[in-house]
Structure 1
Amino acid sequence: MTADGNTPPGIHRSGHAHTTMYLVADGDGVTVVDTGLPAAWPVPLRALRAIGTEPEQVRAVVPTHAHFDHLGLAERLRGQWRVPVWAHPEENFVAAHPSQYQHENSRLWYPLRHPGGVPVLAGMVAAGAPTVNGVTEPSELVPGQELGIPGHPRAVFTPGHCAPRLPGHDAVTTGDALVALAPYPGGAGPQSVSGAATADSARALDSLQALAATRAAVVFPGHGRPWREGVLSAAERAAAAGPP
């Protein structure tokens, strides 16, 4: 587990197997944004202790999207901690079957062309990527809706994602809509997700505009380190780079 002490007060970032989860805390409790992979079960427990809270204070889980490496612990948290897991209705099938999502390019092609991504993918497999359970009872997340949960996230719709905007922290959590580490090619820096993880790279690039429109000062991606030079600069770099 890694933790980032440089996040703003009220946000705790923890990483495991090249995936990231965020705890957003305020006086009403804690919201978990993204949940990593099954082997990351100790991560939220340690993170809660680090910020002086307990599982009983977790009020909700908000995955940015329903891919296996963001939904890994969601069903376990829902069942054991009795908290809702919020998902866009278009994500219901993938939320129930988190490994069965469409993608443009074969996942087998990337290790051959981008060997730098092999350690990332191997770490995810070792952390239980093939064994992620789907979420059986998601709560409906509406784009533009401000959720009445800790952090008061507002769902910014990007195709395949609802990126939670955290207005109290001038931040946006972007999942795979904008990453700082591309799991399949393994490259670092602001970029769009690869064709192994999206069904439409052109649409994924277009979605950067919705993120840029938030004008958030900090980007918290699903993979890689936070980007503190503003979402506008991150989106510009990702758009200029094109699909990895």
Structure 2
Amino acid sequence: MILSSSPQFSLHRVGDDLVALYLVGTPEGITVIDAGIPGQWRDFLAELRAMGRPLADVKGVILTHGDSDHIGFAERLRRDHGVPVFVHEADAARAKGGPKPKNASQKMRLGATLGFFGHMIRKGGLRTTHLVEVEEIVSGQTLDLPGSPLIIGMPGHSPGSVAVSIPAVDAVFVGDALTTRSVLTGRTGPQPAPFTDEPAEALASLEALLPTGAKWVLPGHGTPWSGGVAAAVTAVQRAAQAA
């Protein structure tokens, strides 16, 4: 699904409001942000075909964090096609299958929760292959990838959660730093993401998004937000206060 395009750059989403990943197309190649769940591989290839681009044009995958519903087919790209996978140094072990802390009990609605986990099962989310090798990155780093993505540290959801700013497409990719649809309750609109390690820290990290001034705020779960980053952050803060 194409979200926006210009003569040189294009912005695409693969997936849906339950689990999504993103592609940024440039003349130099394609940068992929997150890798969803394994069964989205076919959807990913279909989007490349729709773009008229071969798999060889994919120059790198940036993971917003190391959770299983974001690393999806990343190891397949790395192992079979030589595509480097970038993840913050604090989440490198998590992306390789290391332990994840147990979160506090979560608010949920049965229908929404069953729908999410059913989707995960259908799309191979229980068969995720963890990374064997990663390229470790740090906050403030601009990667030598199409679109010159800037890494913004967003600790809270996980220690190494990051956002990825790509001004060429007026977008910031936030992973689970926030969500626009809770996979556990079905509630829509910008709000804190479930399964967050340190909720207070995650909320404080949102301030780091504001300097991007991005129009598009693109989460791993939920509808793409095109109302600007400041409005999204304010909405999340209000949702957290009301919870």
Q: TM-score, normalised by structure 1?
A: 0.90
User: Equivalent pairs: percent with the same residue?
Assistant: 35
Equivalence for 1:102: 101
Structure 1: segments with no counterpart, 5+ residues: none
Matches within 5 A, 1:1-244: 3=1, 5-9=2-6, 10-16=10-16, 18-97=18-97, 100-106=99-105, 110-111=107-108, 113=109, 115-159=111-155, 160=158, 161-194=161-194, 197-242=195-240
Q: What is the aligned residue count?
A: 235
Tell me by how many angstroms 1:114 deviates: 5.1
Tell me by how many angstroms 1:116 deviates: 2.8
Cα deviation digits, residues 9-45 of structure 1 (max 9, x gap): 4111111582111111111111111111111110111
CA distance in 2, matches of 1:42, 1:80: 15
Native 8 Å contact 1:66 1:94 kept in 2: yes
Secondary structure of 1:207 counterpart:
helix
RMSD: 1.8
CA distance in 1, matches of 2:42, 2:88: 27
Secondary structure of 1:7 counterpart:
strand
CA distance in 1, matches of 2:116, 2:35: 17
CA distance in 1, matches of 2:234, 2:110: 24
Native 8 Å contact 1:59 1:83 kept in 2: yes
CA distance in 1, matches of 2:93, 2:235: 32
CA distance in 2, matches of 1:75, 1:158: 23
CA distance in 2, matches of 1:234, 1:103: 28
Secondary structure of 1:226 counterpart:
coil
Kindly tell me: are residues 114 and 205 of structure 1, through their superposed partners in 2, closer, same or farther at Cα, counting changes over 3 Å? farther
Native 8 Å contact 2:166 2:172 kept in 1: yes
Structure 2: segments with no counterpart, 5+ residues: none
Q: TM-score, normalised by structure 2?
A: 0.90
Cα deviation digits, residues 98-122 of structure 1 (max 9, x gap): 7x4224224xx545x5543321222
